[in-house]
Structure 1
């Protein structure tokens, strides 16, 4: 229904669209999968008291035909159900949460007295016998803005069911079936969706429009203090072949195997004397170091070094045992050893590290593809693991499109009897040796 409005096809009653979709489900036998659980009714909270925060992620099709994972932050005022969402291309860290909360407060023109959240690692360091220890950055933000932070268990409808419903609503109403162009357009579309539907349509529970109730709730919000985080410098770098990054004429290590031939980008965050190296795409913290005042030094953690305690034959055996077709795996490792005799340990360890990130089926498919295409290197194997699902999906789409192409009966009959000329492989062998076709 929202999609029809967004595409300017007109305004339709949701009940009308629901009946139409119901008929489609019956006609095309499309099952509707639902999950049911028991809930307990909770009393409505007073105006301006509480907001709830949670995170979600979706996988979307792009305009290029590939798939991309997107991450979003969601906020809802418990009384009016007035919502705010924000998207980005990598998992959220503490700095992202603080930025999103600041944007939320600006969007609302104030802030609630309480914020309810999960015991998430970007907010909470640990639970010390019931006393929550916040991350340093979030604690500084909370104390400056003077709001109460209330932690709760995940998937707890009594504590934060309102925001869990918002996360599901964002996925089903906004993200489902939408094509991703770029993150800026995506965020703009989500803000339009909020105005049109998220906050502009009647809420099923309250039977009120969130935007209307928010107009009454807004004066009860607390004023914003405009927290200024400690100055932190962020610098972009590319991981070097020796699994280090350069900063102020020194090399700082990252875990062995982090290097990617296609250029793996990282962000260096400098806070006082600490250097944090973060994967630009995933948000994963790769390594942390104390900044050295020297110059031309290698600053390396022992945990970042490659494991030299295991012999090459044992490593090769471990790689072979990682695959279902061990004969093919033995062939692959043997060719690796022949091609990279000096770097075989590095090659094998890169493959071994992939076992925890991918399924057995994905590993076996990548091995089969690499042997068939003569891609004999750990870097090519890793790239195959990452790209093969997208490549196979592309081939499936091409086959489906070709199957639906209209062909005249005469053309189809010709294609069925058409036999291409097949030359002997000897012809190509002679050409490669420098001979001309038809002569010796």
Structure 2
């Protein structure tokens, strides 16, 4: 405060004493006193531990709180004190310094929270982690509160689901439903540690998922991303959130009922957790979400009441690729012919699932009629063979190395429409014929490549050549094609397949 006053005054060149007094909300006499002090006088005053501090009047109360709840943060102590005495004429920084000294006296330490900075984009990832806190007083009796923290990786908006019973799959799903409704949408993926609620087992990063939860994830349209075992750092935002919930929300509180606990937690989310200025983003999570992420969230349309809580059923697929369901027959992708598939009905949709992983392999609208054969023509096409054939044609036209590199660029740019992009690229090559080596090298240098962009690049190249902008001997000069981009793209695709 003293140094701030002196810098604002700036030896008479800055603000006036009256302006400083008004700006800092202190008396003019205090401003004059500090301005009159030299450096030695300031040091003597700062070292004088006997001088009165504003919080000394509440010292006994603060010590009593720290003895009962030694892990209380300075920020939460400040909120408690505000509820008792009204607005405090001190800053959070002053409160932290004062509480730090008190904690040293009562010989306790305060945990620090560490969060890794991870580059993310809005609407893509939600990090999820269960936690529990024992000894929470509800109606005068200690209970263990089981909770799940949900944190949006981009905006850091948080939701907390609660239970007084150990979590099972059904309650875990219900908490997801609550979280997505609170957020007003669902992210593209949710990231988890290897809890049995999500992953039953793992070997060589091959995951056996909880089928019931995988079915819900499929219906809700988000991808399950399970962290490698014993790797908490990859989910640091949530690891910090779990500690935050324990120590700032629940620790040191008591409740008359479970209903009051839930209401308190929701108020804490809306009035504390999601409106505080986040230490990493330097923004309030709720405001950051409303401004930058809400519009990027996917629509959440799963009705919990319609999610069947019975185990997934299985059906044998006959040699024509059909299964029986409710007096009708439905087609299944041809690779599953004469094997067993998982079947579940939700929201009027018949979901066809991989029985081992719960992954969605097909879907039909359930018919209310009887005795029908309902087919999806795509189920009788081997798309893998079609893609492999197109890749082979591309390799034949461009050579194996260049063909694979171009294919990798197309796949990295538009993975969902890779087959269409291959077909488009072949049409372009068929139209232009053999390409100059220098032009091929130019295509490989593009960070993103689609069939339409490929056509534009080739058009521009030949147009420039016709206008005489290319050197006459350029085609004759040797050109080395850098295939390192292909290796990089292949590495990225490999990483995506693992996730």
TM-score (norm 2): 0.43
Structure having the higher helix fraction is 2
Structure (1 or 2) with the larger CA radius of gyration: 2
